[in-house]
A and B are shown apart, each in its own frame.
Chain A
Amino acid sequence: MIKGATKRKTFGVITTIVFLFSIGCAPKIPPEALVWNQETLKDRQLQTRRFDTNDEELVLQAVAGLLQDLGFNLDESETKLGIIVASKERDAQDGENLAKGLLLALIGVEMPLDYKQKLRASVVTFPASEGDFMNVRVTFQRIVWSVRGKETKREGLDDPEFYKEFFEKLSKSMFLEAHAI
């Protein structure tokens, strides 16, 4: 009996020491994080549209107008480089998350429900190397927090529908800006 207790104790100590070691070691950056891959060009196409103008200021004004239309607040902008960054905080509760939470609750497992999310949009304009065109590229991200304020998700939003809709609205916004509406 004493033997068993010692074994358990040794096991406990080893686990603790391994755990403490793991705190001390810095985790490694994923090797593919800064490498081009097959998705790179596909993503670029998805996130970029070319507009038939060389007036970068007009495009940026249209972007800012659209972001305001969508309820974003501007965080940063640098017109000399064609950059606008905006964000908004919104409710993050959705049906799927709620259903999952309820199912897990039934078997006694507690899952924190998503509560709040911060949505970020970053728009960069880039004059085309040839011709009077302006490339516009937008990227979206979100961070989600649970009811208890714990971060539950951090991700890029890559649903093609978001980008399609954004650029459709941007075309409309460009028209409105050009006509000072």
Chain B
Amino acid sequence: MQFNPYRRQRILFLFLVVFSSMLFGCQNAKKQLLATGESQVKLRQIQTRVFDTTDRKQTLRTVISTMQDLGFVIDKADETLGSVSGTKLDGYSIRLTATVRPRGKTQTLVRANAQYGMYAVEKAEPYQNFFTSLEKAMFLTAHSVD
């Protein structure tokens, strides 16, 4: 058999490629079940706003119409729980759930979370956009929670 000086290099390359694929692409998929990218506190902060109203039902209905304005089709809603979920399909798919609940005696809290395709949306900007749209429909200012 002829000795090939490039053989060892080739094996090294192959090994590198397989190793890097383990690092970047192939993390344990089951761990996705309880995985988050951001800390729970930070995530709640960017996904939550507070409005100066006590009308929970009206808030919920306004959330629904805002989602429709943004091109979502409502999938389901529950008045008792104060939740609504919808899907936007526009070549991509975004699924968004919003929950509405009272905060203290004078305020109502709205929290939204979204996934884009197969990925959790954990950046602040998309939520900021969502709440800006909701503010317009509510005729109220959205406060951040501390």
> Is the C-beta of B103 less than 8 angstroms from some C-beta in chain A?
no
Select the stretch in A102-110, A120-128, A167-175 that faces chain B: A120-128
- Contact status B94-A21, CB under 8 Å: no
Interface residues of B in 75-105 (CB under 8 A from A): 75-80, 84, 86-94
* Residue total for A at the interface (Cβ-Cβ under 8 A): 45
> Is the C-beta of B121 less than 8 angstroms from some C-beta in chain A?
yes
- Contact status A30-B92, CB under 8 Å: yes
B2-17 to A contact mask, C-beta < 8 Å, 1/0? 0000100010010011
Q: Which residues of chain A are within 8 angstroms of B127 by Cβ–Cβ distance?
A: 34
> Is the C-beta of A143 less than 8 angstroms from some C-beta in chain B?
yes
Contacting B75 at CB < 8 Å: which of A34, A76, A137, A143?
A: A76
> Is the C-beta of A81 less than 8 angstroms from some C-beta in chain B?
yes
If A17-B17, A78-B76, A155-B89 touch, whether A33 touches B94 (CB-CB below 8 Å) is: yes
- Contact status A27-B61, CB under 8 Å: no
When A and B form their complex, what is the total count of cross-chain residue pairs whose Cβ atoms lie within 8 Å?
Answer: 134
Interface residues of B in 7-34 (CB under 8 A from A): 10, 13, 16-17, 20-21, 23-25
Interface residues of A in 79-95 (CB under 8 A from B): 80-83, 85
User: In whole angstroms, how far apart are the Cα atoms of A40 and B132 in the complex?
Assistant: 14
Q: Which residues of chain A are within 8 angstroms of B80 by Cβ–Cβ distance?
A: 80
- Contact status A34-B129, CB under 8 Å: yes
- Contact status A33-B126, CB under 8 Å: yes
User: In whole angstroms, how far apart are the Cα atoms of A21 and B23 in the complex?
Assistant: 9
Contacting A20 at CB < 8 Å: which of B21, B61, B76, B129?
A: B21
- Contact status A36-B64, CB under 8 Å: no
Residue ranges of A at the interface with B (Cβ–Cβ < 8 Å): 2, 5-6, 9, 13, 16-17, 20-21, 23-24, 26-31, 33-36, 40, 43-44, 47, 75-76, 78, 80-83, 85, 120, 122, 124, 126, 137, 139-141, 143, 154-156
A-B CB proximity, top 6 nearest: A24-B24, A80-B79, A23-B25, A34-B129, A154-B89, A26-B119
